[in-house]
Amino acid sequence: MGAPRNLHVAAASLWVGALSVLHFLVAVSGFEPDFLYPLENVTVAQGRDATFTCVVNNLGGYRVAWIKADTKAILAIHEHVITNNARLSVTHNDYNTWTLNIRSVKREDRGQYMCQVNTDPMKMQTAFLEVVIPPDIVYEETSGDMMVPEGGSAKLVCKARGYPKPRIVWRREDGGEIIARGGPSGKSRLTSVEGEMLTLTKVTRSEMGAYLCIAANGVPPSVSKRMMLHVHFHPLIQVPNQLVGAPANTDVTLQCHVEASPKAINYWTRENGEMIISNDKYFMTEINNSYYSVQMRLVIRRFHKSDLGGYKCISKNSIGDAEGNIRLYEMEMQERTETEEDTLPEENTDEASSNNRLYNGFQGSLTEPGDNKVRADIDSSTSTGTPSIRIRAADFLRSGHLLLMLLLF
């Protein structure tokens, strides 16, 4: 390191010597060098190039030097770089403009820079080089996917580096609200939460999903990390229609809504526990409604007397299991000729679907039992002329089924 320091000392003494000689020359000519524009502050992202431009009129025989103000190091004099830094260069591109170029800027290049002319007293102007760094997630200190039992707490942490210090904001990937509990204002719902730590307490299943922590400091690009919050709970089954009636020979759909996490295995059985498998008779589907809720459907094709009875939908996961029960009964037909029965429903799908509508409507009305309502549904359907079936609703309601229905709802 001895050589560069000696070089500095030599350069500095030359510089001081030149000052007194040139002072004499100016006194003779009468023109003083003058800065045309102020030196402008520069802000640059780490790794990019920075340039300071110094414009001097009437330089005469004087010289322009670049100095790093904090270390007092002379960087360049006129067109020569003095300092031992390969990333620096100076140019004198036209008669009064001098530039200092710093290639591939580093954080330690930050600071005050001075453009100086060796008059006596010397003239100078300064400006600041700010080096900014885009945000970067510190993965070692940032949470990954998480699992929490329902009712428990989760602490999600996200750390980012960069300059200026990045601001961290949490959002849900689906745009949903984050539920902050236990704050000064109690429970609040927010679309975003700021801070390195996101604490979720008394977590519910609806809080399950992907969370994003986004780090930004004004220096592009912003970065984010995605983490999944899995909320675990015992399966739950809801059965929208526990009593399903259908006319013989039609297709019947049974439905159960399942909520479970972790993902459950769902299946159907008959009353006796015999598992139902997909074949010509049975068609089963599952539709996801969210991360944790699934709609199970069982279609029984061409409903027959042997299909009467109880059905179970069953959901099992690592935490437990749940079942739902559905009872299937036959709706009797009226005003129906032998020939119509033969053509129903295979050859007339329109008719089959209106039958479906009819008995779905009938199921709906079970929640508010009343002969009038049931009759009205049936009458309006028959008056259109399409479905030729008729339910003896009054008979049905008078029977023991009514009691059962009232108990169920």
Ligand X SMILES: *[C@@H]1O[C@H](CO)[C@@H](O)[C@H](O)[C@H]1NC(C)=O
Contacting residues toward ligand X, per CB under 6 A: 41, 128, 263, 288
Q: ∠16-20-22 over CA atoms, to 5°?
A: 110
Residue type, 245: G
Q: Please, what is the minimum distance in Å from the beta carbon of residue 234 to ligand X?
A: 18
Q: At closest approach, how far in Å is the CB of 72 from ligand X?
A: 18
The least CB distance from residue 262 to ligand X, in Å, is: 10
Cα→Cα distances 339→2, 144, 335, 343, 385, Å = 113, 66, 12, 6, 17
Amino acid at 119: T
Query: Which one, 22 or 115, has the nearer CB to ligand X?
Result: 115
Whole-number Å distance between alpha carbons of 116 and 232: 69
Residue among 283 and 291 whose Cβ is closer to ligand X: 291
Q: Which among 115, 103, 148, 110 has a CA at the least distance from the CA of 129?
A: 110
Q: How far is the CB of 288 from ligand X (least distance, A)?
A: 4
Tell which residue, 84, 209, 86, 100, has the closest CA to residue 146. Answer: 209
Written as six digits, the tokens of 335 are: 């005003």
The CB-of-366 to ligand X minimum distance in angstroms stands at 31
Min dist. Cβ of residue 228 to ligand X (A) = 11
Closest to ligand X by CB, 6 or 288: 288
Closest CB 70 distance from ligand X, rounded Å: 12
Q: Rank residues 41 and 343 by Cβ distance to ligand X and give the closer one.
A: 41
Contact, 79 vs 71, CB < 8 A?
Answer: no
Q: Which is nearer to ligand X, 112 or 199 (CB)?
A: 112
Q: Which residues pair with 116 in a beta bridge?
A: 65, 124
- The least distance separating ligand X from the CB of residue 128, rounded to whole angstroms, comes to 4
Amino acid in the structure at residue 111? G
Please give the helix or strand (H or E) that residue 115 lies within, else none: strand 111-117
Q: Which amino acid is at 134?
A: P
19 or 69, CB closer to ligand X? Answer: 69
Minimal distance, residue 290 CB to ligand X, in Å? 9
Question: What is the SS3 assignment for 148?
Answer: strand
C-alpha angle with apex 360: 358 to 363, nearest 5 degrees?
115
Q: Which is nearer to ligand X, 40 or 350 (CB)?
A: 40
Closer residue to ligand X in complex, CB, 291/329: 291
- Report phi then psi at 97, rounded to 5: -115, 125
Report the amino acid identity of residue 371.
D
Among candidate residues 148, 270, 121, the one with its CA nearest the CA of residue 209: 148
Length of the chain as a residue count: 409
Using the minimum distance from each CB to ligand X, give the nearer residue, 87 or 263.
263
d(CA 5, CA 20): 24
